[in-house]
């Protein structure tokens, strides 16, 4: 049985430039499901992880606009809410696509908690922007009232809330996920897990406790892949390849590279800090901890990445 963890970005959930309506999201997710079903028809059993950036932004906005009428929920609970929303859309769309093709498969989304370290330095220096854009005066007022940290947007006179983005160190439900993924000959479940990077939790007094943070979805997906002892890890984004000198006249794609090359390019700051760098870091750590191959490419190139070697392939 061929298996892989596949992490999909926000472009697989909503077409850039379109409003975040339920209908627009389902239209895009239906397109995504067709691409993923192609991979399953090729004989792969996949575990699917996904981002939640636009959706968590919408939920935070709803929270903000209704806070005088309804109690606000903590950020970890809102991540869980986004997992349920996106998981519902993905599992319905995928299951419908499987039925249309006559595949004996059904998609199941699992609310997933991701363990982080309460002493992670990220908790003292929040860096992850989330939610609404605020004018300076409003940001200062919210900072004073709620203790939020804000950062000024580059090239814009607006501010966004910054939250911690700690390193994931484990998947709470990994044993249960393993039983689903490796269910044997009659295994029909396609698992959706670690949505939005997973719900961040810490261990305190031998209990799991939610904590306000956002975990990078690619880093969470690599930890999931290691927990499941997967050998192939695929990250789908909005470009066909990882590029050197991206956005310059010297831009060139990376095709087949070794882990040492990936480390060197990362040290040379070749990759965007909030965009491609986390994917390269996730790929390196996956390979360091037992994985065999990481692929970074676009959703549209997924099938060709497996058949013809399209996309960026990183190996030991």
The series of mean pLDDT values per 10 residues for the chain, 316 residues long, is: 88 85 94 95 93 87 84 92 96 97 96 97 91 88 90 86 94 93 83 96 96 95 95 94 90 95 95 86 97 96 94 97
- Whole-model pTM: value is 0.92
Segment (H or E) for 295:
strand 293-298
Q: Are 198 and 112 in contact (CB under 8 A)?
A: yes
Question: What pLDDT is recorded for position 36?
Answer: 96
- Rg of the chain, C-alpha, whole Å: 19
Cα–Cα distance measured from residue 299 to residue 200, given in angstroms and rounded to the nearest whole number: 27
What six digits make up the tokens of 27?
């239209």
Nearest to 3 by CA among 212, 187, 158: 187
Q: What is the pLDDT of residue 77?
A: 95
Q: For the purposes of burial, counting CB atoms within 10 Å of the CB of 71, is it exposed (0-12), middle (13-18) or buried (19 or more)?
A: exposed
Q: How do strand 159-163 and strand 149-152 relate by DSSP bridges? A: antiparallel
Helix (H) or strand (E) holding 220: helix 217-227
The whole-number pLDDT of residue 1 equals 66
Task: Look at residues 213, 217, 194, 236 and name the one whose alpha carbon lies nearest to residue 274.
Answer: 217
Helix axes 53-65, 75-101, angle to 10 degrees: 130
**Considering only CA atoms, which of 222, 180, 178 is closest in space to residue 198?**
222
Tokens of 183: 């269910």
Residue 129 neighbours by CB distance under 10 Å: 19
The residues near 205 (Cβ < 8 Å, ≥ 6 apart) are none
39 alpha-carbon distance from chain centroid? 19
- Determine the pLDDT at residue 244: 94
Asked if 279 contacts 312 with a C-beta cutoff of 8 angstroms, the reply is no
pLDDT of residue 53: 85
**Quick one: tokens of 191?**
């698992």
Q: What is the pLDDT of residue 233?
A: 98
**Annotated catalytic sites, by residue?**
10-11, 128, 217, 279
Tell me which DSSP letter residue 47 carries: E
Residue 82 CA, chain-centre distance (Å), reads 12
| Cα(61)–Cα(131) distance, integer angstroms | 7
User: Which residues are registered as beta bridge partners of 201?
Assistant: 115, 210
Report which secondary-structure segment, H or E, holds 35: helix 22-41
Cα distance between residue 81 and residue 152, in whole Å: 27
Angstrom distance (rounded) from CA 307 to CA 305: 6
> What is the set of domains in the chain, with CATH numbers?
2-115+169-315 (3.40.1160.10), 126-163 (no CATH)
pLDDT score recorded for residue 275: 81
Would you say 259 and 289 are in contact if contact means Cβ atoms under 8 Å apart? no
Which phi and psi angles does 290 have, rounded to 5°? 120, -10
């Amino acid at each position: 049985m061929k298996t892989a963890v596949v992490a999909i970005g926000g472009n697989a959930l909503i077409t850039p430039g379109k409003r975040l309506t339920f209908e627009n999201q389902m239209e895009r997710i239906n397109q995504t499901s067709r691409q993923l079903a192609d991979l399953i028809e090729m004989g792969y059993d996949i575990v699917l992880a996904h981002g939640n950036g636009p959706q968590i932004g919408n939920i935070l906005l709803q929270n903000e606009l209704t806070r005088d009428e309804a109690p606000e929920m903590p950020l970890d609970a809102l991540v869980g809410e986004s997992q349920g929303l996106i998981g519902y859309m993905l599992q319905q769309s995928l299951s419908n696509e499987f039925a249309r093709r006559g595949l004996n498969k059904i998609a199941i989304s699992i609310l997933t908690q991701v363990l982080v370290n309460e002493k992670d330095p990220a908790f003292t220096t929040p860096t992850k922007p989330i939610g609404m854009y605020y004018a300076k005066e409003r940001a200062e007022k919210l900072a004073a009232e709620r203790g939020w940290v804000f950062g000024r947007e580059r090239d814009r006179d607006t501010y966004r809330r910054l939250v911690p983005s700690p390193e994931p160190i484990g998947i709470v439900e990994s044993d249960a996920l393993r039983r689903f993924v490796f269910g044997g000959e009659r295994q029909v479940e396609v698992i959706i897990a670690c949505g939005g990077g997973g719900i961040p939790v810490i261990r305190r007094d031998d209990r799991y406790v939610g904590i306000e943070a956002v975990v990078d979805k690619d880093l969470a997906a690599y930890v999931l892949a290691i927990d499941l002892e997967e050998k192939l890890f695929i990250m789908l984004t909005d470009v066909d390849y990882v590029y050197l000198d991206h956005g310059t006249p010297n831009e060139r794609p990376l095709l087949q590279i070794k882990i040492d090359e990936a480390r060197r390019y990362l040290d040379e700051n070749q990759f965007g800090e909030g965009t491609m760098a986390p994917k390269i870091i996730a790929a390196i750590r996956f390979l360091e901890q037992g994985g065999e191959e990481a692929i970074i490419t676009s959703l549209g190139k997924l099938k060709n990445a497996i058949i013809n070697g399209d996309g960026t392939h990183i190996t030991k």
